[in-house]
Structure 1
Amino acid sequence: MFSNRNEKCWCGSGLKYKKCHLEFDEKIESYRLKGHEVPSRDLIKSPQDIEGIRKSGEINNGVLDLVASKIKAGMSTADIDKLVYDYTTEHGAIPAPLNYEGFPKSVCTSINNEVCHGIPDESIILQDGDIVNVDVSTILDGYYSDASRMFMIGEVSEDAKKLVTVARECMIKGIEAIKPWGFLGDIGAACGEHAHKNGYSVVRALGGHGVGNEFHEDPFVAHIGKKGTGMLLVPGMVLTVEPMVNEGTYDVFVDEVNEWTIYTADDKLSAQWEHTVLITETGVEILAK
């Protein structure tokens, strides 16, 4: 695991190992020897990686800001897809969902009882009272960022407003639970506790993930969990926090026709917010939101 003390550090900083990540690696090893799951080096981003992901996230944020300024009742989800594609490509980037494992569009648009992976279509028109998740992912110079926001169309029910609000609070609490040298389970514990306290469930079949050099990387980020368990979280890791909060049961199913869109099993509403987060020496930096 350890490099020669006087060689350049494996992280790409250009510094000697003894001046850069030697102490860091020794600390990780001390956790491993105590029986904890620890991250492999490929999950720890270099300074160059972090800057690349940060720039990708700036475009991703711009896409979502544009959607926020345009989204309204009467527009189709295909209209949202065009906004996303045009903005992303005009800024020299690529929409990560487009053709990813066969996904046909540039963005996921999930409405009401759709948990995630809704496919934009000209025939799907946003209606007054809808809640919709717009999930945007961007590739810039090979670096990935990923974030989603909920939008409330026109006058929505009080129940829908509460769900959207609590889902965002769950994400925020999950992010606030992230501490360098804390544990992955801390995130799920915080998200799940807040959702359950408000009478909601959290989807278990899906979760967040590492991101940056690829669209989906380890670790899987569950949004229920037990504090102090799971993989050790260390500075340099980048992951998404994206709890999917359901009005009813946490059970879901996949559309048998398009094989992408995931729905609540009981047809009740679902809401989700997502940020891409960098773990730093002192806390976190949000790279995409």
Structure 2
Amino acid sequence: MRALDAGCRRVLDLIRESGRPPLESLSPQAARAASAASRPLLQPDPPEVMEVRDLAGPVPMRLYRAGPGIRPCLLYLHGGGWVIGDLDSHDQLCRHMALLLDAVVVAVDYRLAPEHVFPAAVEDAALALRWVWEQAEALGIDATRLAVGGDSAGGNLAAVLCLMAREGGLPMPGYQLLLYPVTDLAAESAAYARHSQGYPLTAATMRWFIGHYTPEIEMRHDWRASPLRAQTLSGLPPAFVMTAGHDPLADEGIAYAQRLEDEGVSVIHLHVSDQMHACLTMGRFIPASALVLRQAADALRQFWNP
């Protein structure tokens, strides 16, 4: 039995005590409402930053600025299985990252499934990246220090943006910050068998997300949905990849980090064996989430300021 952080165990106890049904037993609309209701219970109070404002871009976005002047920028894609999550679900995390990075964070509110299936989220993420790069001067952003990042489904989208940029369709981000990312929608790794019950994200929950996002099996073979299936990962920007031991996505995240390294990409891989998926948005009960975010931010700041 793998060790599980005490904070994670407390969250699991709270979920059991609440009687909340698993997300895969709900409609997408009900799952969104349940996720939103749990947010204030699990997340710390959002810290103050110098500026927060919504942007009038091609897709809804929100800008967080840590301080005055031209700053580097992290374009952030939220998690939620492409089905749940929004600007508010990751507001606390984005504020925290802006302060840790002493930078600008731009969060993207991409379209969700099943109302908008693959590749809608990819298209929105690409529009956001291009727009932020083009509007960098007006936004007070240093376009030469523009990174992409995200957690879970957002990590998937961040990885895909880097692959698209390498193919010539987008500005190339300087760095990719991938936090327990989805990298293969086949959902066949051994980690799925290890995490079939008892966690906020189980194999069944993840397959429910995948089914809504990619209802046609052929979609899951596309590297824009499953970046681990890209023919090569060479030529991509440096990466920070975080994986969690108690997570059905652990094996594919580890495999992605290993392929990046094997194919000549500079990568820092942090595997937190006693943590579970979504721990980074449960900081009220899981203090280790702040440590992980600090390590991710330190890696990116070191890249920006060698």
- TM-score, normalised by the number of residues in structure 1: 0.30
- Structure of greater Rg: 1
- TM-score, normalised by the number of residues in structure 2: 0.29
Q: Write 1 or 2 for the structure with the bigger share of helix.
A: 2
